[in-house]
Amino acid sequence: MTKLLIEQPPALTMLSAEQEMFRSSVRQFAKQRLAPLVKEMDEAGLFRRDLIDEFFQLGWMGIEIPESHGGAGEDFFHSIIAVEELSAVDPSAAVIVDVQNTLVNNALLRWGNESQKKRYLPLLASEIVGAYALSEAGSGSDAFAMATTATEHENHFVLRGRKLWITNAYEAGIFIVFANANPAAGYRGITAFLVERGFEGFQVGRKEDKLGIRASSTCELLLEDCVVPKENVLGSVGEGYKVAMETLNEGRIGIGAQMVGLAQGALGHSIRYTKERKQFGKPIAEFQGVQFQLAEIATELEAARLMVYNAARLKGAGQPFLKEAAMAKYYASQVAEHAASVAVDLYGGYGFTRDYPVEKLYRDAKIGKIYEGTSNMQLQTIAKTILK
């Protein structure tokens, strides 16, 4: 069986020495600690809690959380590096870190009041997994056609509804849940709430049996007269639309990084295997047809990586990045699927079996075009921005 190892990515002079050290540390962990467990977790459809605990210990679940709240106090770009490197070995591991940092922590850092930050950020940095609950059965790309409601009472809200496709839900203890507090106002009534797993009326439901990223949990949430204190409104009542849009724009850069890492892993497996596999008396890497396929993937990968890094740097610098984030996610997901498909082709019959890692990467790649905004929605966003 081919070992789950990856080729070194090309040298990137755009990274600082500190960023390169951080990248190396994540890569080493992924290769030594994570890689031997990937197949087992994929088949079980369950991510090991001891690995998540190590993510916390290493500071990867609270990368941007300030040190004063128990976090690593690093910037957004470090989150992108961590997601990319983990994805080269296991995209399921990467999405756990990604959702925690680019969605949950980012939303709380930007929209939370001081009391909320003091209560929840230390927990998110040290021990509790977070989840982001926006999607519903009837609101996919039209995420704000939501049916979940929030009814205001004297000192609390009562949430009623059902959320679907919620990443990290099986492990999570803190959820950012979106519900409409004024359905008559349409999207202007949407409000974000900080919901703890133990709140009355809250339940994590069925876990989905997925095609790819199987070790990453995806569950439904059941809100049956779920009681949420008023002090757990994130932002203001009716501001949920803005909270969701701005957070998801950042999250799409994370998904772009996940797809870049996946493509890097697929390319690494392809390069290694084509050097080992012999046909007609020589390694298949010596055939021009194979070389051209590898060169094409390497070129696409480099372009996707630069697009993701550019979007991340714009975000970190406080510059507009809506178009760049959409482009990065759209293109990186295209490249990941292409790279994984070519890897299966180059492995031939072996690539079609679960004894070799490229089959899993091929399954994992598909989600990149679907979650946190489908490829068509990214194209729509790009078109709107360039036509202004």
**Active-site residue list:** 372
HSE of 229, CA atoms in CB hemisphere, 13 A = 6
* Residues 6 or more apart whose Cβ sits within 8 Å of residue 195: 133, 159, 174, 175, 176, 177, 202, 226, 228, 232
CB atoms within 10 A of CB 129: 26
Tokens of 74: 């690093």
For helices 240-276 and 76-87, angle between their N-to-C axes, nearest 10 degrees: 40
User: What separation in angstroms does the CA of 264 have from each of 54, 68, 76, 275, 305?
Assistant: 24, 35, 21, 17, 10
User: What separation in angstroms does the CA of 318 have from each of 83, 102, 150, 257, 322?
Assistant: 21, 15, 33, 19, 12
**Interior angle at CA 47, CA 269 and CA 308, nearest 5:** 55
* Beta strand spans in 40-101 (E): none
From first CA to last CA, the distance across the chain in angstroms is: 53
| 3-class secondary structure, 235 | coil
Exposure class string for 300-312: b at 16+ Cβ within 10 A, else e: bbeebbebbbbbb
Q: Are 196 and 174 in contact (CB under 8 A)?
A: yes
Exposure class string for 134-152: b at 16+ Cβ within 10 A, else e: bbbeebeeebbebebbbee
Burial class (CB in 10 A: 0-12, 13-18, 19+), 370: middle
